Amino acid sequence: MASYETLHLDTDEHVILEVRRHWIVFIGHIISFLFFASIPVILYIVAHIFSFPFIDELAQGPLLKVVTIVYLIWILSFWLSFVVTWTKYYLDVWYVTEKRIIDIEQQKIFHREVSNLRFDKIQDVTVEVRGFLATWLDFGSIKVQTAAEDSRDFFMTYVAHPEQVKQVIFAQHNVVGDKTNNTTDQGGV
């Protein structure tokens, strides 16, 4: 069960939706991780194919252990960098609650920006799904425009299921709008 203490939500406020980038953005990182992890193996195979003179000594001699140690350190470094990248990906998120959208931008591991946008300030939500892959895998960019001059627009690219996100935001926007109208009407009577 997730706990949202660090968001400092009101007592009657709950997280309805978490919006993250689509997993496709992570494929590039996985490919580069696998590529860099396999570079020493590729070099070894190339050296073997071209029968470099040291390759037999390397494969059979005591140097093999040393080379394996260096290779394991290499793998550990890329594993750590992969986890740091995943952490930045996972912690870069929008939380949609009954009252607002909380935008957390994890730009670097020590660079984190948190912004709030209340539903009564939202003017429009634009979704853009461009290209075959984006249509097929259902991801795109989403932009939440604000009516207030002093607050910036919220924008996220490669969002998973952007139309669903838009629907949730609109639905919640309408609920908040209805509540505000009812309160105004009652106040007027």
Partner 1 sequence: MLQFSIKDVPFYHLSDEIPFLNGTLPSLSFAFNGDYVKFLFLVILLLYAIGYSIISGIIFYHWNTYGMKTSVIAFAKLLFTLVSLGLYILLFSLTLSL
**What is the smallest separation between the CB atom of 16 and partner 1, expressed in angstroms?**
14
- Comparing C-alpha atoms, which of 29, 9, 37 is closest to residue 158? 29
The nearer residue to partner 1, 76 or 171, going by C-beta atoms, is: 76
Binding residues for partner 1, rule: CB under 8 A, are: 1-4, 6-7, 53-54, 57-58, 61-63, 65-66, 68-69, 72-73, 75-76, 79-80, 83-84, 86-87, 90-91, 104, 106, 109, 112
Closer of 82 and 121 to partner 1 (Cβ): 82
Q: Is 99 helix (H, G, I), strand (E, B) or coil?
A: coil
Q: For residue 166, give the H/E element and its range.
A: helix 162-188
The least CB distance from residue 124 to partner 1, in Å, is 29
Residue 124 CB neighbours (<10 A) = 12
What are the backbone angles phi and psi of residue 37, rounded to the nearest 5°? -65, -30
Work out how close the CB of 14 gets to partner 1 at its nearest, in angstroms, rounded to a whole number. Answer: 13
* Number of Cβ atoms within 10 Å of the Cβ of 184: 9
> Least separation, in Å, of the C-beta of 135 and partner 1?
27
